[in-house]
Amino acid sequence: MAGKDRILVLGPTGAIGRHIVWASVKAGNPTYVLVRDTPANVNKPRLVTAANPETRDELLQNFQNSGVFLIQRFFPSEFGLDVDRHDAVEPVREVFEEKAKIRRVIEAEGVPYTYLCCHAFTGYFLRNLAQIDITVPPRDKIFIQGDGNVKGAYVTEADVGTYTVEAVNDPNTLNKAVHIRLPANYLTLNEIVSLWEKKIGKRLEKIYVPEEKVLKDIQELSFPNNYLLALYHSQQIRGDAVYEIDPSKDVEASEAYPNVKYTTVDEYLNQFL
């Protein structure tokens, strides 16, 4: 493991954190994790340091106990749409604005950073083809926001972990944003529905929902459905995954790491057959 940076993951048991941990171990990076204390009957990964840091000094002490004395680079907890490039509505807008404020603090304080812009996780967007209150892709009818022709960027949570560790080990991502928009997964919802129809050998009834109705539904639904619908609206109507990158401050993951074998949308949908 000579030459590999040590990686400390805060929050390693969540939907993304656990994938970053396993990708880091697989890549050969010395890997440490920091979690809060949990009940004794909960099984913990071997690499976990249990802690409940309440103060800055306690947090620093826990870092040092893990062998961390100098933070070379910080990856803030974003892992979604680019918070500096969005036209999201509430309740998503407030979350994005808070994350953007964190970016500004990081930059103002001169903290070395990398931002990960992953866009749409398959677990939230594709397991049900962006439908509310179902957990698998529909086989009869589907509601499509807008006209279904806006490009979205989809990625599995496991691949987010892989690309995160690639970015950690790449000095060219220092003080830049890494954008995960994979060629085979940069698709419109109409294109994804077409893939699904071919797999099940059946055409779905398609109900196209105008933006005005989507916005009304977001206002009337309760959490978490209003939040999910606002995420879908951000990508599928407002096109928040469609933009040009600036090479001076952005890195396109598929171009920087062409050898990564990622799960395509087509492959992901096979598990539901």
Written as six digits, the tokens of 162 are 């892989």
Measured N-to-C along each axis, helices 225-236 and 92-108 cross at an angle, to the nearest 10 degrees, of 70
Catalytic residue among 26, 44, 99, 261, which? 99
Among residues 71, 255, 100, the alpha carbon closest in space to that of 172 is found at 255
In angstroms, what CA-CA distances link 209 with 143, 180, 195, 218, 268?
7, 28, 20, 13, 25
Position 57 pLDDT exceeds 90: no
Position 66 pLDDT exceeds 80: no
Average pLDDT over residues 120-138: 96
Among residues 231, 229, 35, the alpha carbon closest in space to that of 118 is found at 231
Give me the half-sphere count of Cα atoms (radius 13 Å) on the Cβ side of residue 163: 31
Domains assigned to the chain: 73-272 (3.90.25.10)
> pTM here?
0.89
Q: Is 26 annotated as catalytic?
A: no
Write down the pLDDT at residue 69. Answer: 53
